[in-house]
């Protein structure tokens, strides 16, 4: 049985000796492992685009690709990915239960506009121009007028959210 899997997956092959069929078989296996890891990591890992989640996405893609082309041992690569997903889950749990850990891992939101007034210090702190702010207000708030905005925030995931001032009846 071991000889079968060795031949099918090229378990003893390296990046110079792996055959196309073995790479294809590894690709199918890595695809199935990646799906299982996604289930283990939870919906938020690929549902959000916070820097915390993007890091795990990039690392998993890079590490798993090495398994397909036999640049790294197949078993060790899969174990490393499981460890990364478990670490991601552990840090997400810690961030949920501890505000300081959450701030360190996920960052903070910043008020950019309050009662129609722009907080230029927070724009500078986050390398946002007034044009960037206005674009975010148009996209999220449906208005071009800063004075119509009660609050605009740069959220932890990088999006700008907007709460408009209540409309006064005419």
DSSP-based three-state secondary structure for 149: strand
Report how far residue 101's alpha carbon sits from residue 106's, in angstroms, rounded to the nearest whole number. 8
Proportion of the chain above pLDDT 90, given as a percent: 52
The whole-model pTM stands at 0.73
Report how far residue 34's alpha carbon sits from residue 101's, in angstroms, rounded to the nearest whole number. 27
User: Residue 46 — pLDDT band, cuts 50, 70, 90?
Assistant: low
Q: Where are the beta strands (DSSP E) in the chain?
A: 110-114, 117-118, 149-154, 160-164
Closest among 95, 86, 97, 102 to 42, alpha carbons compared: 86
Domains of the chain: 2-103 (no CATH), 108-164 (3.30.240.20)
> Which pLDDT tens digit goes with each residue over 96-135?
999 999 899 888 999 999 999 999 999 999 999 999 999 9
103 contacts 46 by C-beta, under 8 angstroms: no
| Tokens, residue 13 | 């092959």
Give, rounded to a whole angstrom, the gap between the first and last alpha carbons of the chain.
80
């Amino acid at each position: 049985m071991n000889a079968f899997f060795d031949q099918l997956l090229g378990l003893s092959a390296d990046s110079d000796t792996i055959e196309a069929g073995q790479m294809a078989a590894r690709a199918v296996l890595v695809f199935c492992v990646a799906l299982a890891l996604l289930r283990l990591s939870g919906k938020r890992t690929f549902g959000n685009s916070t820097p915390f989640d993007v890091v795990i996405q990039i690392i998993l893609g890079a590490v798993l690709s090495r398994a397909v082309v036999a640049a790294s041992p197949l078993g060790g690569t899969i174990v490393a990915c499981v460890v990364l997903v478990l670490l991601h889950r552990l840090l997400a749990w810690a961030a949920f239960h501890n505000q300081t850990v959450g701030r360190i891992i996920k960052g903070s939101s910043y008020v950019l506009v309050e009662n129609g007034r722009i907080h230029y210090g927070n724009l500078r702190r986050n390398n946002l121009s007034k044009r960037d702010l206005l674009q975010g207000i148009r996209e999220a708030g449906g208005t071009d007028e800063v004075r119509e905005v009660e609050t605009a925030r740069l959220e932890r995931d990088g999006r700008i959210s907007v709460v408009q001032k209540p409309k006064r009846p005419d």
